[in-house]
Structures are given as C-alpha cells and as structure tokens.
Chains A and B, each alone.
Chain A
C-alpha cells in the first residue's frame, strides 16, 4: 500500500471528529479542574495507540483472538486478586506505577474477540450462539463482581449488538431479551448496596436529595443552568464551585452542558453522531466480515457509552460509572477508545476497492477469507 493510496483511503473525517472531541474533552477537563496536563499525556499516548492501530493490519488480530481472550480473563482476574479499591469497588491495577483500569481495556478486547468468533461463519448458528454466551459469561461475571455495573452494561449491549450485526436470528435475539427480562427482577439481589441505591434513587431522585440523589440532582441542575448558550467556558457556577460530583469523569458532560449550553451540547452530540455513522461506514466498506464486525463492535461500544453517560447526566438513565468517550478524564478509557478508533481506521484503510484503468498503479486489497 503506497503512502498516497493510504492517504486517499484514510478516513480524514473520522480523525477530524476525534480531534474535535478530544479538544472539547481537554477544555472541559481543564474547566473541571482535573489534572489536564496528565490528560494531555493520555491523549498523546492515545494518539500513538491510534496511529499504531491504524497502521496495524487488523486482520492479524483474528489469529491472536484466543490469546487476547485469555489475556482479558487474566487481567480481570488480576483485579480481583491484587487490584486497588476506589469508591468501594476493586477496579484498578497498578502497572509500573500507573493506575490501569482493565475493565476499560476489556471493552475493546471483548469487541475484538466477538468479532473474531462471530466472523468465523456467515450468520449465527444456535451452537455458535451458545458458545458466544459462554465466551462472554466469565469476563462479564468478573466485571459485575468488581463491581462495575457500567462496564457490565457495555458488555451486554455490545454482545447483543454484535449478535445483531452478525445476523443472529430473531429468536436468538428474543431469547437474549427474555433472559434479560428474567435477570432484571433478580438484579436487586445481585447488585451491591450502593448500586441498588443508585437504581432506587434514579427511580425517585427526591427520595434522598442530599445523599445518593445529590449527584443526580446537582448534575441535572448544572445541565439546566447551561440554558441555550451556556454560562461560558470556565464560568459554570455548578461546575466551578464543585457542586457537580465526579465532575471530570462520570459527570463531565454536566460541566460541558453548563458551560456551553444547549447549542454546545447539540454540537457535541452531533459530532458523536457523525463519528458513529463514520464507524458504521467503515463497517460497510470493510473488506471482510471480521472488519465489519470489528468496526460495528467499536460503534456499539462508543454508542452505549455516549448514551449511558449523557443519559445519566441528564437524569434519563440510572447512574452507572461509564466515562464519556474522548471527553472524560482518565487514561485507560482514553487510550482504549483511541486504540479502538485506530482499529476502525485500519479497517477503513484496508477496504475493498474496484480498480478502474491502470490496475498496476492501483492497489487491490486482497479479499480476506471468510
């Protein structure tokens, strides 16, 4: 692949949208008085991961998928065994002095593993449906028991979405929905105290306006206070005075919405929307089924996180610890997200092409084996 050909195939719009989101993220994290210098470092590391992933031929991942799966189980297990606690949950691993959140990385690993497995055949047989569930169950259980409700939600949504994209049968999908319908009433018994409390508070935020409902209420107040045009960057009353809890991570959107208003929020959502469509487009042009499912999986991973994060910030969805991709403060999520987007870029770079005219000068992408 020549440089010029690569340049032409490169999804510039995707990179532009990513750059816009990263810039807005950096500004918001700065406003939220988090360590933005560190966030810049994460962003630069993420940019390296993005470039490396884009340059890397994603197809080579298929071969190592079983290894990746084993690695995912290993790091999730390590969290249980030697992880650090924060806010009542074990989620952190210390790697060379850096705090690492394996559940963030596991989101991408799950996408890769599922894409690899589901691309082994056209459609989804009942057998591979069962194997898929068996594959997802162990890491999901490890994450749920950390406990990390947010990542579990991402797992379930990615599983369902990728089965759908892999053309799973309607009955298979219905049975999943049915299983979820059975599991949800059991949820209160499975959830940890604070998670159950979050769910109850979501259902009735006035129940405890100064306690657990406080986060929800304050975030909503901040978003609402933004109004149409916002209070201006660094001038959000709620955010600047620290009323919004977790203002650089889970509730970073509230800070953004207060300072940039409805217009800014709509622009942010539009950029996310465009990026998501761009990811699906990569799936649509993917040279093989693996690439299609990989891009689709990353699409799902980002969509679920954006929806859940914004949704909980505006009181539409219950609070679950999910970062807003590319915006929230945090290294693991930033690097994982950029690596995932880099893989999608890699898919786009290696898309199918129809050669017109001088085929010798063109590059015909080898069609990958099914």
Chain B
C-alpha cells in the first residue's frame, strides 16, 4: 500500500513554544558551561581529592609477645600510648582556616607552630604524619575532644613495651627500639617496614623472631579528609609468641638484691651473678649491676638521660654477666687440678709443698701467704687456695694441655644463649701469644710464651679471661660430673592460641675428659674450702645455711703484672654436694677480698634458694 498524501505541514511554532525551547537551550547550555568548568578547570584539583578519597592500607600492629618467668609472671607488658597523626591532604583547604588549624594542632601538642607546618609540608600529602608521639592519657583525652574541629587529624594508639623492674630484669630482657638503617637493610627481607620496632638488646633481640607478631592490615576507604568511610578487607594481626624464661623472678630479685647489698657494703659499684641449674643448663638468675631503666628506651629517651648512661664510668649498659671478660683468678684452680689429676701428674694423694714463693728462671712468683703452708694434697690446696701448689701443677701439665682442659670446661667459648652480645673470654697459649704480640721480634717477652705465663695460667691469671656466664657453666660441669651444659634462658614458647610450640631440651655441648674419681677429688677440695672454720664457713653459719656443697673464691689481679695490682673478686659455688641442683658464679668488679666480698653474696643467694626451693622448683609453665 502506497501512501501518497498526508504531507506534514510546517509545525506551528508559537512564540511561547519558541520561548520554551530557547529556555531549554539556555538552561542546558548553562549546565554545560558549569560542567566544563568543573570537569576541566577544577578537574585536576578535584581528581586529586578523589584519589585521596581512596583506599588506604592501614597497618594493624601486632602485639609483641610477652616474656614471662618460669612460673608465668610477666616481665614486660604492652602498654598503650597515643600519638597524634595528621594526613596533610585532609587539613582544611581554605588557606586561612588551614593556618588556624595548624596553630591549633601546634597548641594542643605543645610544639612550635613552624615545626609542625614544616613537618606536614615535607610529607606525602596522603600519608599519615606522626606529629606528637607518646601522648599521655590526659593529653589524649583532651585532644580527642578537639578532633571534630581538626579534620585530617586522628589519634592513633600504639603499644609500647613497659618492663617490670628494669633494674633487676633489664639486662636479661633488653629493650626494643625503632629500626635504624642498618637494621632495616638486614631485616627488610623478613618484611620489616621503616618505623617498626625491633629488639635491640637482651632476649628482646635474641628472641625477636618469636616475640615479633605478624602485623595485619585493613584496607579502608578514607575520604578526602582522611576520615575512614568503611573497611573493605582486613587481615587480623597475629600476636607474637609468649616466651617463658627459665628465670625465677623471685630468685632473680633476691640475687640482684644480694649482689647490690654486697656491693654497697663494700663500696663497690659493679658486679654480676649467674645462677644455673647444673642438670639442665637452665639459667635461674642472671644479674648484672649496675642496671639501667630499659623503659627509658621504649618510652623515648632524652638526650640527657642517654649521655648520662653512656658516660657513666660504671658502664651500666654493659651486661657483665655475659659480656664482661675478666681473669678468673683462683676459681680457675679446679681446671689446673683436673688437668694434673687426669694427666697423671698428680694423684688425689700427692703431696706438694706450698712455699711463700717460687723462683722461676729468676722471676719470683708469690703465694698469697708470705709463709709456708706446708705439704698438702690437691684438695687442701684448693681449700687453702695455695698458689705455689698450682704453679707447680701447671708447670707439670704445660700450657697447651692446660688450655685444652680450660676449653673442655667451656672457657674461651661464647655460649649461645637467647640474647646477643655474649663474649667468649680468652684461653691463651703459646700460639695465641705469638699471633697477637704485634712485635717483629718473636723472641721478645711480648711474643714468646714463658714458663711464668704457664704457671700464672695455672692460677687463672696470665692472659686468661672468662665471663660470669662461662664461670657458671664451668662450675655446673664440675658439679654434674663433667657435662658442659648449653646454658639457656628459655623454658617454653607458646603461640597466641596458647599452644606450646617449643619446650626445654637440655643440651650437653661437651664433656670434660676427666674420670669421675678425679672430678670427685676436685669437688672434695671445693667442699673443704667452704667448710674451713673461721673462714668461709663463717658466712654459712652466720646465714644459717648448711655448707652442703662446694665453692671456690678467687681474687683475680688485672691490669698488668706486679704486686699491688687492682683485683676482681669471684665466688663460684654449687649445692647440694651429693646431688647438685644449683650452681652459681658471683663477680664483684674491683673486689679486693673474694672471701669477704664475693662469698657472702653467694651465701645469701643460696639462703634464698634454700628457703624458697619449693616455690622455685614448683611446676613451670
């Protein structure tokens, strides 16, 4: 069908219809102009705001693992602190309002305004800038009220390590601190981020991998003003593992108190003490004095406090228990005795003289007594600590063999315990002396091992160095029949769900090549020493502690050779005699008389141990 007609006439556009059409064109044109302005002229700024209005990944800090003593008493807590963080892009846009806001931020944080402004100007505008770390709770509350008027600013809660009794536990626990550049380079591949904290010293450093939790994250949408609009996805943080140390908190406190009291009584300022279980190698107490407030380091240390610590002549930052290297003096005589007995140079019954001095190639080597103590066997020589007896034994054994026995007892070996900074001490011999002498003439006295070196080696002098930790392991090996235990601070590790993921496994790192009889002969000398009436026995009687065990004092000269050299005082001890369950070393820096200065400290520690053995040995966690 074909349509022929019906041609549409021209539309009748009345004036009013034209007006309406014009209105539509004008109004829509107006919208178009405004749109062009918004999308092209302002587009860049607004696009920036849209980007800021975007997804940010917020780190959810994992709680660091808590360190407990062997019974579950916490030695550190994660206490909350608040910091004021600002996203620069979120500040008010208007220049005048912005400067008012900056002034307000400076005022409430108590910081100079130019400093705040510079800090924020230098930062990535979409990042969080911490302008006031470590706010107190009152500050936090005060600022919180002002926050609605401060767009872009927010209060962020952080956990800060707070240590229990840092002067007692500080050298064991150590402290954490922010990563420095060197740490970061080393740890980046383990996922550490700038600004994170890491254990610096002590078990905080040694057990870093256990204590560090795994940070979580949340992808949150924040608007142009830094306000969180909603959370898109989260990965919850995994807290660090709980670490149960072998330490007994009460014994640690008692050891620190006994040591401190002894130091104060004798006008000394530094010392160390290590208490070990000779059967397992568990460290029950590990004290170094002076201590320092590790909380200063986690809560933000002032320059003044830091330089005070650094410049303190008593070196409080030095953990003497593991890193202080000193000559063992007479406490070494059990090694010389063991070597003499085991090498067949003497027997338990062999009598040697104890003259006031020995003349070796024209050099005079004195005993502590200026008179002869007569003939004596090895046990009595240990009990009376006769130097000239052990000069003779050392000369018979020889330096190389003596060094071998010293190493077998763990001397000269940096023990691997759960903290960094353990020092090995030093076991010298003729080869060592030639290597270190640094003088071209290998026959000079500085390079050539002399008989004098050998015989003073025999009484724990010459170049021999040890640490209080090594001494404890050594006396533990004497006590347990020759097993050199790996000392450990760690009893158990539990993950966040409470599951035990690591437990104590006593480890024997070496055995002293000595027969049970010979070791018993040496222990007999140690028992005699602490039972000498009017001498060592006095301290036990005075403290009401049975002298059931073995001990040895040592007053070690240091700082060269000669007669009136400064000394350190030592006391090593184990108990009970028949089935030893505790061994210890006590060290008093610059101590002059070990029987008077060091031994009573050990007796006090022993007294506390005996009085509280039930609690100390109660079930561990």
Contacts and interface: CB of A to CB of B under 8 A. Distances in A.
Interface of A: 2, 4-5, 8-9, 161, 164-165, 167, 206, 209-210, 214, 217-218, 220-228, 237-238, 241-243, 257-258, 261-262, 265-266, 269, 272-273, 276-277, 280-281, 283-285, 296, 299-300, 303, 306-307, 310-311, 314-316, 351-359, 361-363
Given A222-B50, A355-B6, A210 B227 contact: yes
Contacts of B184: none
B229 A225 contact: no
16 contacts: A161-B20, A221-B46, A223-B38, A226-B39, A227-B47, A242-B221, A257-B35, A261-B39, A266-B32, A269-B28, A280-B21, A299-B20, A315-B38, A353-B7, A354-B8, A355-B5
Interface in B425-466: none
Interface stretch (B11-19, B259-267, B351-359, B409-417): B11-19
8 smallest A-B Cβ distances: which pairs? Answer: A224-B46, A362-B5, A284-B11, A225-B50, A362-B6, A262-B39, A355-B5, A227-B43
A82 B34 CA distance: 42
Nearest to A354: B9
B38 A237 contact: no
Interface stretch (B51-59, B120-128, B303-311, B391-399): B51-59
Q: Assign chain B's interface to a size class.
A: 35 or more
A171 B521 CA distance: 130
B55 A224 contact: no
A363 B27 contact: no
Given A218-B53, A303-B27, A357 B4 contact: yes
A354 to B, nearest CB: 5
Contacts of B4: 356-358, 361-362
Contacts of B8: 9, 285, 351, 353-354
A303 B227 contact: no
B229 A242 contact: yes
Interface in B189-205: none
Contacts of B223: 210, 214, 218, 243
Contact of A241 (B16, B21, B31, B221): B221
Contact of B45 (A224, A228, A243): A224
B27 A307 contact: yes
Given A218-B53, A224-B38, A362-B4, A284 B229 contact: no
A280 B30 CA distance: 20
B53 A285 contact: no
A296 B13 CA distance: 12
* Residue from A220, A225, A243, A315 having most chain B Cβ neighbours under 10 A: A225
B5 A357 contact: yes
B70 interface: no
Contacts of A358: 4-5
A362 B3 contact: yes
Contacts of A359: 5
Contact of A269 (B32, B55, B225): B32
Contact of A237 (B16, B44, B53): B53
Contact of B6 (A8, A164, A226, A285): A8
B38 to A, nearest CB: 5
Given A228-B39, A242-B221, A272-B28, A237 B3 contact: no
B102 interface: no
A281 B264 CA distance: 108
A306 B20 contact: no
Given A221-B46, A277-B21, A284-B17, A242 B35 contact: no
A361 B2 contact: yes
B39 A361 contact: no
Contacts of B23: 303
A23 B39 CA distance: 23
A186 B8 CA distance: 50
A224 B28 contact: no
B349 interface: no
A243 B229 contact: yes
A217 B42 CA distance: 13
B40 interface: yes
Given A225-B46, A227-B47, 16 more contacts: A4-B1, A8-B6, A167-B16, A237-B51, A241-B55, A276-B24, A276-B28, A284-B14, A285-B8, A296-B20, A299-B24, A300-B20, A306-B28, A310-B31, A354-B7, A357-B4
A269 B26 CA distance: 12
B43 A228 contact: yes
A303 B25 CA distance: 10
Contacts, number: 181
Contacts of A266: 32, 35-36
A262 B27 contact: no
A218 B224 CA distance: 9
Interface string B174-194: 000000000000000000000
B151 interface: yes
B621 interface: no
B40 A228 contact: yes
A222 B42 CA distance: 11
Given A225-B46, A266-B32, A273-B25, A285 B12 contact: yes
Contacts of B5: 353, 355-359, 361-362
Nearest to B45: A224
Given A242-B221, A257-B35, A296 B17 contact: yes
| Interface hub of B14, B21, B23, B54 (most chain A Cβ within 10 A) | B21
Contacts of B21: 276-277, 280
Contacts of B47: 224-225, 227
Interface string B199-240: 000000000000000000000010111010110000000000
A239 to B, nearest CB: 10
Interface string B308-329: 0000000000000000000000
Contacts of A310: 31, 35
A361 B7 CA distance: 12
A121 B589 CA distance: 119
A163 B538 CA distance: 121
Contacts of B94: 206
B49 interface: yes
Given A285-B12, A351-B8, A238 B50 contact: yes
Contacts of A210: 151, 223, 225, 227
Contact of B11 (A222, A281, A311, A353): A281
A9 B6 CA distance: 9
Interface string B123-159: 0000000000000000000000000000100000000
A172 B34 CA distance: 32
A262 B31 contact: no
Contacts of A351: 8
Given A218-B223, A223-B35, A273 B28 contact: yes
Contacts of A165: 16-17, 20
A33 to B, nearest CB: 14
A223 B42 CA distance: 10
A284 B36 contact: no
Contacts of B16: 164-165, 167
Contacts of B51: 237
A277 B11 CA distance: 12
Contacts of B54: 237, 241
B53 A314 contact: no
A2 B28 CA distance: 38
Which interface residue of B2, B12, B39, B44 has the most chain A CB atoms within 10 A? Answer: B39
B83 to A, nearest CB: 22
A265 B5 CA distance: 41
A265 B11 contact: no
Contacts of A217: 224
A251 to B, nearest CB: 14
